[in-house]
């Protein structure tokens, strides 16, 4: 009597990242990556730029918290005035977070 083995279904690994604003852990694709490059700190829409990265939700509240100091700490760098202005402009284009009421 032969025992037929069923093929094992492989579970695809989904990389997890933590939002530095609210500390929520989500899949990497649900968060925006900010990267430290030689040219400064940039938003990385492709998540493929070389450099040290940090992740944030696409919510203004998380960005505000991140820009207060968590982002600089996560990237292990000082955020220059020019970079800060660029990041704040990006933040202001984001939707306001819905209030939990």
What does the pLDDT look like over 19-54, one tens digit per residue?
Answer: 999 999 999 999 999 999 999 999 999 989 999 999
- Per the DSSP assignment, residues forming a β-bridge with 41 are 36
Structure tokens at 6: 């069923």
CATH pick for 16-92 out of 3.40.50.620, 2.30.30.790, 3.30.1230.10, 3.40.50.2000: 3.30.1230.10
Mean per-residue pLDDT, 7-11: 82
What is the model's pLDDT at position 5? 77
Q: What sign for the dihedral angle of Cα 35, 42, 82, 61?
A: negative
What is the model's pLDDT at position 100? 45
pLDDT grade for 9, boundaries at 50, 70 and 90: confident
CA distances from 53 to 20, 22, 89 (A): 11, 16, 19
Give one word for 76, left, alpha or beta, with left for phi > 0 and alpha for psi -120 to 50. left
What is the model's pLDDT at position 90? 93
- The pLDDT > 90 percentage for the chain reads 77
Would you say residue 60 has pLDDT above 90?
Answer: yes
């Amino acid at each position: 009597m032969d025992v037929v083995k069923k093929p094992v279904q492989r579970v695809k690994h989904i990389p997890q990242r933590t939002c530095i604003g609210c500390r929520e852990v989500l899949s990497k694709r649900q968060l925006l990556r900010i990267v430290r490059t030689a040219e400064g700190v940039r938003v990385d829409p492709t998540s493929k730029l070389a450099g040290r990265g940090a992740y944030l939700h696409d919510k203004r509240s998380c960005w505000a918290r991140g820009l207060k100091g968590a982002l600089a700490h996560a990237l292990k760098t000082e955020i220059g005035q020019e970079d800060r202005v660029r990041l704040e402009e990006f933040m202001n284009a984001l939707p306001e977070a819905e209030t939990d009421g």
